[in-house]
Structure 1
Amino acid sequence: MGVTRMNHLNLVTKKTLFWILLLVAVIFLAACSDEQSTGEESPNKETEFAGGWPYATVPTGHYNMFVANAIDLKFYRELHQLPLATYNAVSDDYSALLADGWELSEDKKQLIVKLKDDVVWHSGTPFTAEDVRTTFLMYKLAGNPVWNYIDEVEVVNDQEVAFHIREETTMIYRYILRKPIVDTETYGAYATQVDELIEAGEEETSAKWQELVADFTNFRPETVNATGPYYLDPANVSQSHVELVKNESSFLADTVNFDKVVVYNGDVPDLTPLVLNKRIDYLTHQFPAASMETFAGAGYDTLELQGVDGLAMYFNAGKEPFDQVEVRQALAYVIDRDSIGEVALPGITRGTKYVSGMGDLMTETWIDPSKLIDYKVDLDQATELLETAGLTLEDGKWKKPDGSPFTLTIQAPATWTDAATAAAEVAQQLTAFGIDATFDGIDPLVRQSNINDGNFDVALSFFGTGQPHPFFAYETPLLVSNANAPKGLGYEMTQQTKEAGTVDLEQLLTESTRGWDEDAQKKIVEKIAYTVNETVPYLPIYSKWTQNITSDGLRTEWGGNDDLYLNSAGDDNFAIIKILNGDLKPID
């Protein structure tokens, strides 16, 4: 009976399958016949490139590109608001975009930039030197450090602009050529007001200047003008994604190979399903090893990039007992950076070798690392330092000089897998040493504001840089998150050190990029590195040998020029450059 029934089922199944296949064949032939008879082809499917980046939506998110919470989409911004040029790390040179060329004057007092003459904004207005000048006046209003090195932006004619150099620096090209350019149509009224304040002799610390800064901080443009091959229309911004639509007015419209670029909102948990459904083409997000294996099985390719940046522990020196250098040094001796690097994101994160404030590769390039304090795990040394600072160990628990327990919380974005894992591991290591520490998982959108306002004990945040000068490694922790913040790290920028003597870090940071002599700059960078190493305002824990996922061979073709993969994905993104130059294209 069982065999007979099975044979019957097989017969039914075969018959059913036969009729299904026959029906499909009929439909297919009919479609082909119809297409041949009409002579018309099926319409082409719209091509898109899909990536991801977390952004805040309106009303928190906005379109003033010089103010916090702007919906600028990180490196994707350069697809709609082009810079003057792109950068290649291997050749250490720049390729023109909005610029047609540039040259340093014979006396080295001006950088003269010539602009392309066939560029128009999405609004239809011609792109001119006035737009470049407006952009840099906005950077002046925003306190951008480029104005430490220039004192005037002169419009020579519609296609030529001269940057008057106040302080010579090897970084003048990067400061000027890599900034996305905005339009006078949107920002011109504020540029006029900046001009008026300058003509009136108002300093940036004056009340009138600060009033304009406050007003500009609340400026909310309704549109985002574009020179790039795509444009950002606020109507195409939702909670889930942004669609950058083809800008047919752009001189690059016929060069790029995608009809639109979609940027999905969110972090790893939000984007994982999109990758699994093969709807993503490129992500810089760092996924767990198991997820990466699954993605590879689905056909995704992986690009491993050198570790130039990562996460560090920021100490709040405005709170006791973190205000004592011995306490910060002690914590550096307790934390096992190698073990945290192994578990944060296995195969991606690696414990930092040097505590210099820079990435390990940059440290070896710019300074003599043999002079650095090593900070390998040494609990005896940590104990001695805490006791020197007046703390005592009672029943296995450390107490502050006033007798209260030494406890702390470690803030890190809960949705950042590596940061959350690292914070939990740091908390365990400190607790085992007698300092009760807990992990405080926060919304990533309040990470920087909490640091700026001093609302933390210890916070995990970024260190290092993919840019080609150490200044940029120190800019965020020492300036953005400290000297220029309302409270920040609470770390004094003038420090007494054994290795470098008395140092003014703010002054040294400004001087570190001055002049055309890189060897002279290295001597200044050494003082900064040795000071950070000795006083530990922040402790680099691990760098990321990041694994970017791409749909190369699955949905897209990425072309040649592999040298670009040595660019920083965050600062000079190779995917964006490949889209702009037409190398990156959809698979037909």
Structure 2
Amino acid sequence: MRKEDIHKASNLGIARRRFIKGVGTAGGAAILAGCGGQEAGDDEEGDGGNRHEAGSGIEAGEEELAQIQELAWITNQDLPVLPLMEKLAQSFQTTDDWEVPGSDSTDLMYYWPTEWLPRFGQWGATGDDDTLTLTQWAVPEDSQYNPWNGVEYAEPRRMLFDRFMAYNIVDAEYEGYAISDWEIDGESITLTVRDGLTWHDGEDVVAQDVVNQLKLDMYSGGTLRDFVDDASSSVEAVDEQTVELTLSEPVNSEIVLGLLQPTRLVAKDSEYGEYVERLDDADGDDEEVEIYGELTDWAVDEPIGCGPFQYEEADSQRTLLTKFEDHPDADNIDFEQVENRHMPSNDARWSALQNDEIDGDATLFMPQNQVNQLPDHVQIAEIPRHWGMGLIFNYEDEHFGQREVRQAIAHVIQRDLVAENSGAGTGSKLGVKYPSGITGDFTNRVEDEWLDGVVDEFEPYDHDEGRAEELLEEAGYAKENDVWVDGNGDPIEIPIKVPSGFSDWVSAVETVVDQLRQFGFESEMLTRDVGTYFGQDFPDGDFVAGVEGWANYDQAYPYYHFDHLYTGGEGSIQAAANFPDEFEVAPLHDEVRDGDAIDPTEIIDELARTGTEESDE
């Protein structure tokens, strides 16, 4: 299951400190999420085995590493979120009528293989089938393709629109695509539009289209807006193929490229240029909000794309795309159509793969008992996601607002068992060893690299009910008749909301609730419809405890995870869980900060600008 598609916000700049007040992110679905996972393979030695290591080429200087460790320390000590597990994703490809790279090939290590391999000429037909059949969550005829609307923003976008760049997650290399070349020189970034890239109505893709895309992403609260003085004047078309982006000061290129790469080129000037011009000329925040609101209300049901396939038709069951012969990569593709069938549940997709009704799925959680029923010609590739489910605490709750309670719960929950039950026999989930907001447990990068030299300072929150009892008693709680109660004799209630459609998350929360009950908490699982949970409950802060992704999926560099967690704004995790502006945590590195009170976003902003000289060489 692709939870990031349920959110309809995988392409958007998630709400931030500078987000347009009163609008929220597109469709009200602001938090990034994801799903998937498959057999991680045997790794009894815990050294990563034969797994691919994402981002192994990423290195951090001494100052950078200290800042990363400081952010991890704040997270580890205060526990605004309890990271429970990290995961690998599984990606499915059928091989009876299709030729694809082997499941262990690094050629599959792109997000997502279903959209990149056909473009590269690496997903080819070997039989008479001229249609690649995939899936989609939204009802096809109700789908729309304005990413700033976000509602029912459906999977066919992956073939309809080209991303700025490709990124191999194992090699940690950016590859030119819609943006064929780039140059970062201090505060200036020059982007070059790919030769021969054409919109499906026959017009050339030009620099102004890229300018529109960047501006609208910034106006919607995209991260780049934090690094420019003024969204309206910081990006311009120099000529038909060249875009100049001016930053307020140098920014680490690892971060800049990571922000640019996944951008999907949608903002054709004849379609979106009017909104850009009006936002540029807006007189104050109120007018900006009004204009942006009009953009988010606009539903595009017949998109003009620039990808290798163009929109043909949609009904209640499928969306049909046909090959666009004028795309620069058209000659690489030897099939004529892509269809996305409406399959809004995990079990429907399991059945479709088992019965040869679809040709693949980008990423989908399938428990081992279902994997065992797949035909031999269905291969499964394991893709590092640098992501996983975490328990989010609402700081406005009378109990969870206390650090001792959050820490006690961390000592009660057995994360390895939660991961094992959630993985359902696939080995795709690992319990987080050091709750710190840093990913890389599958290859031991957390303790061997990111926390190198300081890991012994970090609290692993091992299963220790004795320590949990001490913490609760320090906070004024007592155990009466096997139930933990507060000073008024009222029991500590821990209802945990979870989206009902995410089977692996439901299994995880069931395990958590069972462990909390056995310890003496009054806990229960509250399942909610997916749309209700992510559209209302979570973004509105209507939960005591909830579940969400504790990291910015698909990114290995820790900056993104802390930015995802702490950088606030309408619809963000920080806003939903009512995190304080400052956390009281003694410093790990005195050279990074003075005093106990700290706003993590200050360190995040410093991290973005650290090492710029080294990264730009």
TM-score between both structures, scaled by the size of structure 1 = 0.73
Unaligned runs of 5+ in 1: 1-43, 521-588
Aligned to 1:455: 542
Tell me if structure 2 keeps the 8 A contact 1:56–1:71: no
Q: Distance in 1 between matches of 2:570 and 2:287?
A: 24
Which segment is superposed worse, 409-418 or 46-55? 46-55
Aligned-residue offset at 1:343: 1.4
Aligned to 1:366: 450
* Amino acid of the structure 2 residue aligned with 1:273: S
Q: Does 1:266 align with 2:344?
A: yes
Aligned to 1:229: 308
Task: For residues 416-439 of structure 1, give each alpha carbon's deviation from its aligned partner in whole angstroms, at most 9, with x where no partner exists.
Answer: 221111111111100111111111
* Equivalent runs, 1:56-67 vs 2, <5 Å: 62-67=144-149
Aligned-residue offset at 1:468: 3.3
Q: Distance in 2 between matches of 1:267 and 1:512?
A: 40
* Amino acid of the structure 2 residue aligned with 1:447: Y
Q: Distance in 2 between matches of 1:379 and 1:482?
A: 37
Aligned to 1:302: 380
Q: 1:258/1:444 Cα in 2 relative to 1: closer, same or farther (>3 Å)?
A: farther
Q: Does 1:184 align with 2:184?
A: no
Aligned to 1:149: 227
Aligned to 2:180: 100
Q: 1:376/1:306 Cα in 2 relative to 1: closer, same or farther (>3 Å)?
A: same
Aligned to 1:314: 392
Q: Distance in 1 between matches of 2:570 and 2:435?
A: 19
SS of residue paired to 1:437: strand
Q: 1:411/1:481 Cα in 2 relative to 1: closer, same or farther (>3 Å)?
A: farther
Match of 1:497 among 559, 582, 585: 585
Aligned-residue offset at 1:52: 3.1
Q: What percent identity do the matched residue pairs reach?
A: 23
Q: Distance in 1 between matches of 2:180 and 2:420?
A: 47
Aligned-residue offset at 1:71: 1.3
Aligned-residue offset at 1:518: 9.3
Aligned to 2:92: none
Aligned to 1:511: 606
The total of aligned residue pairs comes to 463
Aligned to 1:161: 243
Larger radius of gyration: 1
Q: 1:260/1:472 Cα in 2 relative to 1: closer, same or farther (>3 Å)?
A: farther
Match of 1:415 among 498, 501, 520: 501
Aligned to 2:364: 285
* Equivalent runs, 1:347-366 vs 2, <5 Å: 347-361=427-441, 363-364=446-447, 365-366=449-450
Aligned-residue offset at 1:221: 2.7
Q: Distance in 2 between matches of 1:54 and 1:353?
A: 33
Q: Distance in 2 between matches of 1:58 and 1:476?
A: 33
* Amino acid of the structure 2 residue aligned with 1:508: I
Q: 1:483/1:440 Cα in 2 relative to 1: closer, same or farther (>3 Å)?
A: closer
Q: 1:350/1:162 Cα in 2 relative to 1: closer, same or farther (>3 Å)?
A: same
Which segment is superposed worse, 375-384 or 172-181? 172-181
Aligned to 1:88: 168
Aligned to 1:379: 465
* Amino acid of the structure 2 residue aligned with 1:150: V
Higher relative contact order (CA 8 A, sep 6+): 2
SS of residue paired to 1:113: strand
Aligned to 2:190: 112
Aligned-residue offset at 1:307: 5.8
Which segment is superposed worse, 123-132 or 407-416? 407-416
Task: For residues 311-362 of structure 1, give each alpha carbon's deviation from its aligned partner in whole angstroms, at most 9, with x where no partner exists.
Answer: 1111111222111111111111100001111111222222111101122345
Tell me if structure 2 keeps the 8 A contact 1:482–1:491: no
Unaligned runs of 5+ in 2: 1-126, 589-595
Task: For residues 46-84 of structure 1, give each alpha carbon's deviation from its aligned partner in whole angstroms, at most 9, with x where no partner exists.
Answer: 52223334336676x5332023434142xx634211122
Superposed CA RMSD in Å reads: 2.5
Aligned-residue offset at 1:237: 5.2
Q: Distance in 2 between matches of 1:314 and 1:175?
A: 25
Aligned to 1:47: 130
Aligned to 1:406: 492
Q: Distance in 2 between matches of 1:475 and 1:58?
A: 36
Q: 1:243/1:400 Cα in 2 relative to 1: closer, same or farther (>3 Å)?
A: farther
* Amino acid of the structure 2 residue aligned with 1:248: E
* Amino acid of the structure 1 residue aligned with 2:194: K
Tell me if structure 1 keeps the 8 A contact 2:563–2:601: no
Task: For residues 3-37 of structure 1, give each alpha carbon's deviation from its aligned partner in whole angstroms, at most 9, with x where no partner exists.
Answer: xxxxxxxxxxxxxxxxxxxxxxxxxxxxxxxxxxx
Q: Distance in 2 between matches of 1:439 and 1:127?
A: 50
Task: For residues 462-501 of structure 1, give each alpha carbon's deviation from its aligned partner in whole angstroms, at most 9, with x where no partner exists.
Answer: 1233213212223444346887469501111310102443
Q: Does 1:196 align with 2:284?
A: no
Aligned-residue offset at 1:230: 1.1
Tell me if structure 2 keeps the 8 A contact 1:452–1:486: no
SS of residue paired to 2:504: helix
Aligned to 1:174: 258
Tell me if structure 2 keeps the 8 A contact 1:80–1:229: yes
SS of residue paired to 1:286: coil
Q: Distance in 1 between matches of 2:431 and 2:570?
A: 25
Aligned to 2:117: none
